[in-house]
Structure 1
Amino acid sequence: MAETWQRAYGRGRMDIPCGVVATLALWPHKSPGAAHAAGLARFLASQPARRWPPTVGQVAAVHYLRRPDLIGAAGPLLRWAEEEHDDDTLYAVKAVAETALKHGVLHHTGSADPSARSEVDLMSWTIVCLRHREDRSWLAEHHTPDDATDVLVSLAIGDQPPASSSLYEPAGGTGGIFRAVAQRLRDHGVDPHAWTWSLQDLDPLAVAGAAVNFLVWDLGPNTTVACGNTLSEGDLTGRALAAQARAEAHRDALLAGANEAAGHLRALRALEVLA
């Protein structure tokens, strides 16, 4: 996918190809064993390039209803869809989508079983590969390999993880440690929804990727992400919880307004029938 983007678009705008992968990972329809993946991949690959920006917005809207805070945090990967793009950029977007579909993105993220969706940190691979082709020296970004993470988690948690606890990662990247912990919990019959997960990182794209991952991996309602410098700002979990409350209040207000508007439309239709 990174090679496709570089050939089709050139350097820059990592948010666009990362957002394409995020949208496919967040695709709302899941099935046992991702049985629908091949058919859906053919359908999506056949869509014209101009359909991709609105598709990104539609997928984000589905998840916004449930977790407006995480979709807000994922904004750096999704907001490009609100811009006007020329035909060359849209061609590159479609090319990236086709490449990701060809190489099985929906098979990785399309299962109805969250454990099957949590076998790989897809957003980490995407961001690191793209940044490697740009310039990652400024961030010294090196995500921990899955095998190393699994070993660390097995040593830290052991074979009897608690039924509920909390995990805070002050330099969490896209959440690789969280993925490994969640998988170990599931392997030992513990529901990740009973845990509290708090992640922060300096890189906005990594935090956005973590927000996407938290939804894909289904870590549950007690999840927060924050973007900031841990060394100078400390633990930003409180700020993330406040942002979550504001996002949920805004969503509720929007839904209330939509329901009121729908009620007015039903009343008007009833009057038209009577007339």
Structure 2
Amino acid sequence: MTQLDLFAALEDEPEPIPATFAAAPEKPPVPSSPPAAAAVAQPRPRPRRTKPVSDPHGQAMRIGEAAAGVWHRQHGGTRIEVPVGIVAALALIRQRDESGPDLQAQILSQDDSQLIAMFREIWSTHWMHRPDLIDRARILHEWLNDEEIDNHRAYVVRAVTKAALEHGLFDLTGHADPYLRAQTDVLSPVMMLVRSSGAQQGLGEYHTPASVADAMANIVAAGTVMDIQLAVDAPQAGEHIHDPAAGSGGLLRSAAQHLREQGLDPAQFQWSMVDIDEIAAACAAVNSIIWMLGPRVTVACADSLASPNAVEDAMKHARAVFAHRDEMLGKARIIAAIRQTQQLLEQGTAVAA
């Protein structure tokens, strides 16, 4: 299988803090502004993703329409977490070298088994770094654990992948700059459009449009709501920002973008989200990685009214998930050491013979 350049340097990201939130540095780093377009030495089949999309919310909706349309036309079935999970996994990708081979073309050139293996690699790699959030998003990738993915499922997976990429998913999420990655919520339209309107109403889901969320963030930040001046203090690093009915996290995305516009780093704040819908909470968990909200993020799947301690319970679960990750890594290191020792012994035996 060809090795794809799927990830930016994840090892450079700070270790998440699932237990208690550590104190933030006194002077958080100022995030970079959207970089200027750089010259490319040789012609590229696609331009480098260095400029913001002119209508990110509209493009996100078109991606959702394309992915949902393909899923329904190709009779994908009732497991709507599959198309949502496909787009979520693709949105997690940050190409390490933007001047390298065209990642979209590489992905679409894979055969079915390679494509499925790629999706498994995306989720497993991110689980190593954020097991708490990837575990919360489990519903979006559990289908990849099926012993055998039949030909029809593989065909639909490819069709949804192709639709999302060809409608410009990487133009929204493929940036290294977090401000550009968080221009919009690409998962909310997919989730809404693959789910019937009746199912949405049954769950009480009414997702705030991204443009409305942006406007609300600006209004609150300005301290003005319906011409009533409010006393709103400037945000301070270390503060806790919470949404008890988060959906896929759209309001917090807007809040994070406003912080960046003020020269603040969202990673220096605490974030928590709660939603009763499992798929919405899973999307919020993935989005917190896409939008680079930082290590102090907790996502709970619960009824905020019936479960006032949902965030605290989610943090306890996160600690357990991190402990399990560390235990698995410890066992893997032992196994790797044993295998290395066996190889050295076999090499020594072969030389002696």
Q: TM-score, normalised by structure 1?
A: 0.93
1:188 corresponds to: 262
Q: How far, CA to CA, are the matches of 2:342 and 2:124 in structure 1? A: 27
The counterpart of 1:147, out of the listed 208, 211, 222, is 211
More helix by share: 1
Query: Are the equivalent residues in 2 in contact too, given 1:150–1:180 (CA < 8 A)?
Result: yes
Deviations 1:16-41 (A, max 9, x none): 1111101101125355xx666x8111
Deviations 1:138-173 (A, max 9, x none): 123221112221122123234943233111111100
User: Equivalent residue of 1:226, what SS?
Assistant: strand
Indicate yes or no: 2:151 matched with 1:87: yes
The counterpart of 1:211, out of the listed 253, 277, 285, is 285
1:100 corresponds to: 164
Q: How far, CA to CA, are the matches of 1:178 and 1:113 in structure 2? A: 18
Change (3 A) 1:30 1:218: farther
User: Equivalent residue of 1:247, what SS?
Assistant: helix
Query: Are the equivalent residues in 2 in contact too, given 1:74–1:212 (CA < 8 A)?
Result: yes
2:184 corresponds to: 120
Q: Please report the RMSD computed on the Cα atoms of aligned residues, expressed in angstroms.
A: 1.8
Change (3 A) 1:30 1:124: farther
Query: Are the equivalent residues in 1 in contact too, given 2:94–2:175 (CA < 8 A)?
Result: no
1:172 corresponds to: 246
User: Which moved further from structure 2: 247-256 or 42-51?
Assistant: 42-51
Indicate yes or no: 2:125 matched with 1:62: yes
The counterpart of 2:111, out of the listed 48, 67, 77, is 48
Query: Are the equivalent residues in 1 in contact too, given 2:94–2:173 (CA < 8 A)?
Result: no
Q: How far, CA to CA, are the matches of 1:146 and 1:168 in structure 2? A: 17
Q: TM-score, normalised by structure 2?
A: 0.73
Identity of aligned residues (%): 34
Q: How far, CA to CA, are the matches of 1:216 and 1:145 in structure 2? A: 18
1:134: how far off? 7.2
Q: How far, CA to CA, are the matches of 1:169 and 1:123 in structure 2? A: 18
The counterpart of 1:8, out of the listed 74, 80, 90, is 74
1:137 corresponds to: 201
Q: Which runs of 5+ in 2 are unaligned?
A: 1-66, 224-233
Counterpart residue identity of residue 233, structure 1? S
2:3 corresponds to: none
Q: Which has the larger radius of gyration?
A: 2
2:312 corresponds to: 238
User: Equivalent residue of 1:163, what SS?
Assistant: coil
Q: How far, CA to CA, are the matches of 1:134 and 1:122 in structure 2? A: 22
Aligned length: 272
Q: Which runs of 5+ in 1 are unaligned?
A: none
1:91: how far off? 0.8
Query: Are the equivalent residues in 2 in contact too, given 1:9–1:88 (CA < 8 A)?
Result: no
1:132: how far off? 3.8
User: Equivalent residue of 2:241, what SS?
Assistant: strand
Query: Are the equivalent residues in 2 in contact too, given 1:30–1:111 (CA < 8 A)?
Result: no
Q: How far, CA to CA, are the matches of 1:101 and 1:44 in structure 2? A: 9
1:273: how far off? 2.7
